[in-house]
């Protein structure tokens, strides 16, 4: 269970970090999912007058993404702007796919054990969205508030220099199950809390997190916490433990850039 004061602690932390960076507020990319909704609510509470939600519809956006993003903005009176990314995304895809290089077939996202049909093309969208957020942030002297949670980071379920590129990670040490608890504490609409988590890059909901993980978040989080605390793993199905360990091991060094030292 999360602490009753967690909301206040994170809001204060965001305020402190923004002040340390001599910035004026925060910008959040709103996808209509639980993580961006919680980030949007926290950003608004930290900076009631200097927070901005950005809707970034592109090829992978479904109608409900925009509907839920607007729902969270209305719930917390969060100012928003919409930047239609579809034309820019399609132009980049056309340009990149015209490059005369042979494609290497692979079963997983880079530095993960998570299956994906075409990470090179799919990651264009996440990197374009983050580039847009940074353009807006730098124009307004805001910081980009990240949406990644601990479970996603542990599994490597994010794009380097895409949704993994951010100034602050208010939920980076919260398991997904704890994000759901925090959403309840914040008053995020139940419809958003109950929405199945997806990557949001394929224009439908086939890229559901739990399908790609091979585990639900409750199991993934419980296994990691048990490993971290040196607990008894025999309480879990052995296949689930093996899968979780496989995910954690593949993503362990994903954020580390090897640097030659003299």
The residues near 243 (Cβ < 8 Å, ≥ 6 apart) are 213, 214, 215
Separation in Å, CA 220 to CA 57, 137, 161, 176, 236: 30, 34, 25, 9, 10
Using the structure block, give the residue that is written with the tokens 């990314």: 85
Pairing between β-strand 142-144 and β-strand 51-55 as defined by DSSP bridges: unpaired
Mean pLDDT of the region 11-29: 98
Per the structure block, which two tokens stand in for 254?
């994903």
DSSP E strand stretches across the chain: 25-30, 51-55, 80-82, 142-144
Percent above pLDDT 70 for the chain: 95
Reported as a pLDDT band with limits 50, 70 and 90, residue 204 is low
**Is pLDDT at 6 greater than 80 in this prediction?**
yes
Q: What is the pLDDT of residue 9?
A: 98
Of 209 and 26, the structure prediction assigns the larger pLDDT to 26
Q: Domain-by-domain residue ranges, the chain? A: 6-251
Q: How many C-beta atoms lie closer than 10 Å to residue 134's C-beta?
A: 17
Tell me if 128 sits within 8 A of 96, measured CB to CB.
Answer: no
Q: How many C-beta atoms lie closer than 10 Å to residue 170's C-beta?
A: 27
Over residues 128-176, the pLDDT tens digits come to 999 999 999 999 999 999 999 999 999 999 999 999 999 999 999 999 9
**Is pLDDT at 59 greater than 90 in this prediction?**
no
Tell me if 144 sits within 8 A of 138, measured CB to CB.
Answer: no
Q: What is the pLDDT of residue 213?
A: 92
Task: Tell how many helices (H) and how many strands (E) occur in the chain.
Answer: 11, 4
**Is pLDDT at 198 greater than 90 in this prediction?**
no
Task: Quote the CA–CA distance of 155 and 30 in Å, as a whole number.
Answer: 22
Separation in Å, CA 239 to CA 212, 223, 233, 242: 15, 12, 11, 5
pLDDT averaged over every residue in the chain: 93
Task: Quote the CA–CA distance of 210 and 188 in Å, as a whole number.
Answer: 22
Percent above pLDDT 90 for the chain: 83
Q: What is the pLDDT of residue 249?
A: 97
**Is pLDDT at 89 greater than 80 in this prediction?**
yes
**Is pLDDT at 40 greater than 90 in this prediction?**
yes
Mean pLDDT of the region 41-52: 98
Q: How many C-beta atoms lie closer than 10 Å to residue 54's C-beta?
A: 22
Q: What is the pTM of this model?
A: 0.93
At CA 254, angle to CA 249 and CA 259, rounded to 5?
Answer: 120
The residues near 222 (Cβ < 8 Å, ≥ 6 apart) are 236
Over residues 73-85, the pLDDT tens digits come to 999 999 999 999 9
Per the structure block, which two tokens stand in for 137?
């942030």
Taking the domain 6-251, which CATH number applies? Answer: 3.40.50.620
Over residues 207-236, the pLDDT tens digits come to 688 888 999 999 999 999 999 999 999 999
Q: Which of 1-5, 62-66, 223-227 has the highest mean pLDDT?
A: 223-227
Q: What is the pLDDT of residue 162?
A: 94
Task: Quote the CA–CA distance of 17 and 139 in Å, as a whole number.
Answer: 19
Strand partners, 90: none
Task: Quote the CA–CA distance of 140 and 150 in Å, as a whole number.
Answer: 28
């Amino acid at each position: 269970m999360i602490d009753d004061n967690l909301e206040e602690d994170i809001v204060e932390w965001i305020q402190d970090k923004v002040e340390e960076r001599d910035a004026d507020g925060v910008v959040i990319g709103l996808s209509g999912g639980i993580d961006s909704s919680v980030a949007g609510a926290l950003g608004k509470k930290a900076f009631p007058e200097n927070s901005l939600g950005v809707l970034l519809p592109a090829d992978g956006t479904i109608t409900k993404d925009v509907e839920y993003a607007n729902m969270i903005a209305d719930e917390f009176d969060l100012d928003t702007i919409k930047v239609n990314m579809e034309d820019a995304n399609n132009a980049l895809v056309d340009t990149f796919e015209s490059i005369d290089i042979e494609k290497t077939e692979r079963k997983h996202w880079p530095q993960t054990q998570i299956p994906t049909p075409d990470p090179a093309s799919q990651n264009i969208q996440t990197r374009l969205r983050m580039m847009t957020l940074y353009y807006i942030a730098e124009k307004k002297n805001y910081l980009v508030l990240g949406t990644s949670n601990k479970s996603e980071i542990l599994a490597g379920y994010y794009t380097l220099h895409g949704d993994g590129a951010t100034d602050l990670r208010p939920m980076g040490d919260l398991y997904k199950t704890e994000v759901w608890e925090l959403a309840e504490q914040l008053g995020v609409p139940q419809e958003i809390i109950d929405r199945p988590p997806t990557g949001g890059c394929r224009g439908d909901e086939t890229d559901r997190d739990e399908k790609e993980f091979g585990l639900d978040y409750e199991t993934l989080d419980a296994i990691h916490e048990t490993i971290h605390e040196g607990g008894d793993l025999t309480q879990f199905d052995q296949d689930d433990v093996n899968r979780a360990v496989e995910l954690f091991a593949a993503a362990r060094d994903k954020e580390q850039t090897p640097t030659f030292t003299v």
